[in-house]
């Protein structure tokens, strides 16, 4: 699974999300953005959220401090 497919699969794994709008510039990007998308099992979603919480909180703090 590509990083793009993983990111889109994660977003689309939530029942509250029905659509994800991505930016594309070429037909190749359109294909890549739709290839390999699959709903993620709850355990995978939980692990991705845990990883983000562990490593992403510092990034979020820095972004908030910059305004």
- Boundaries of every domain in the chain: 3-66
Residue 46 above 90 pLDDT? yes
The pLDDT score that the predictor gives to residue 17 is: 92
Residue 44 above 90 pLDDT? yes
Write down the mean pLDDT value for the chain.
86
Question: How many CB atoms within 10 Å of residue 40?
Answer: 19
The pLDDT score that the predictor gives to residue 30 is: 87
Task: Give the mean model confidence (pLDDT) for residues 15-29.
Answer: 89
The pTM assigned to this predicted structure is 0.70
Q: What is the DSSP secondary structure assignment for residue 16, as one 8-state letter?
A: T
CA 37 → CA 4, 6, 17, distances in Å? 9, 7, 14
Residue 37 above 80 pLDDT? yes
């Amino acid at each position: 699974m590509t990083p793009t497919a993983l990111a889109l699969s994660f977003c689309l794994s939530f029942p509250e999300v029905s659509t994800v709008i991505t930016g594309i510039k070429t037909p190749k990007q359109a294909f890549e953005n739709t290839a390999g998308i699959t709903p993620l099992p709850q355990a995978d979603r939980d692990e991705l959220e845990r990883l983000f919480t562990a490593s992403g909180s510092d990034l979020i703090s820095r972004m908030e401090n910059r305004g």
